[in-house]
Structure 1
Amino acid sequence: MPRTTGRPLSGRLIAGGWSNLTFEIGDGEHAWVLRRPPLGHVLATAHDMSREYRVMQALAGTGVPVPETYALCTDATVIGAPFYLMEKVEGVPYRSAAELAPLAPDRVRAISQRLVDALVALHEVEPSAVGLEDFGRADGFLARQVRRWSAQLDASRSRDLAPAGELRDLLAANVPAQSAPGIVHGDYRLDNVLIDQADRPAAIIDWEMATIGDPITDLAVLIVYQRLSRLCGGEVVSDAAAAPGFLSEDELRARYLAGGGRRTSHFGFYLGLAAYKLAGVAEGIYYRHRTTGSGFERIGALTVPLLEIGLASVREED
């Protein structure tokens, strides 16, 4: 980590993200990134800075691009919450089709292909080889995810969500045998990957939901975001997948398999679970907005569409 110049530090909130807060800290010569939990209502087990820090430390030196991590502070009295510092990686977190529009379709296609390739590289890492064998409990992961997100939805609920109970019951009744354990990012999408000037992933960021579990859930989350963007446009959700050249759902899945990713049988269940999880995240943020006025009210409009995507997905053919 470069030493500071001794000049006063300045900071700015980096836009984007639904949950943990990300700041750029600088002294006029050097820059770092600081991550801390959100303000307001925080669900139990969420926003653990030490877990996010640990997984990036573990993946350093593997084929998975991650920022270098510098320091973790668990003393909430320092800035009002636990936090950690990491390298500021140069790269673009493309969020919209408009941002990708200046690029030719062949460049957009290459970016989306490499997005999948980076996910395959993550899923190829053996947790025990990087000291993450105790980072999560793989046995019963899928069934436990259904219960976890049911509990999270219940903890954040402030309004009627009619499809939630039906989707919960469908998921609970259709849990498949899961694939071999691996490292799960938990919120994998293009705007959680910094793309460098050569159109390659420079760093995967936002590891707050990382764990050990069934890696196919990452591919499902990526595709559910793509479906959600078709329903809700790019105002709240990334619509980068609408850019000319971006891989279609079928191409994303085929690229994942061709690159050595896990076989995706019972994929309708995985899509349904991904939608249910994202509905739980969206509703938690909506609840936090209602209690703190933090400006995320539009996120609440995503909950029901996500539940409906989930219901349709569970009934899909493999």
Structure 2
Amino acid sequence: MSLQENKKKRSFRNFDEAAGHILEMLSKQLKINTLFIAKNDGQTNEIVKSRNTRKELIIEGSFLPLENTFCSLSISYGEAPLVIEDISKSKMTESLEIASQFDNGSFIGIPVYYEDGEVYGTICGLDNEPFEFTEEHIYTFETMSSLLTYVLELEKANNQIQTLSSPLVPVTKGLAILPVIGEITTQRAQTIIDHVLTKAGEKDLEYLVIDVSGVSQINTAVDEYLLKLVDILKVVGIAPVITGIQPFMALKVPHFAASLKGVLIEANLETALKQLGFVLMQNCPKNSGRL
């Protein structure tokens, strides 16, 4: 495998992909039946990622009340890893209804925190048979918890950057502009959609001008997201207007403009505003002789 291919394999687009890779690495060190990462909101526990070997003990994507999970014990235990080598004999699991399903199995778990100390969830190992945890295993879980915190903060920072790079700029009552700048990836396109829908609802818009003159890269997947945004805006009663479509976009995604049938498309922002009945006016000093 070349260095470039290796780098590509180790790059992650989001927390979900990184979480999957972390469980894969853990599974090579711990021969425990199940490894999983869970997220909770204080009431519900969601299994974000799971990896089972002999038997499916934890189902990815499943939900349970937090109070009825091993994760709740781990969070209550604090920052250190919680190790239960025999679930059937632990006083901590006596009131846990789900514990009866695991007999004399074993559990290890440690909370995953955001940088500000807020709990994201947990990273855990579980087996329905006895499992002996070594100091190395415990240290590895501590390390992976810290790594997940780092990944969470990176994703949060990236989302903030993506939002700031596509701000919704109010122009006047009922009208705003969305300048889209730089390379548009699939992830960024989805972030833009989420951001626009949130802000558009707050600003009671009639028109949203989407200016793509600053876009440097586009592909068919991103094209679908932009068309999705246009369709969603129509559904919620906001008239989309597209400006700044460049020649390379038409060449790379030839059906893009054709798919926008019925949508106002203008070469630039000024002509779009004129079509909507707005005129850009320059403020001039008094007595300058200019309007």
TM-score tier, shorter chain, comes to under 0.3
Query: Going by fraction, where is strand more abundant, 1 or 2?
Result: 2
TM value normalised by structure 1: 0.23
TM value normalised by structure 2: 0.24
* Structure with larger Rg: 2
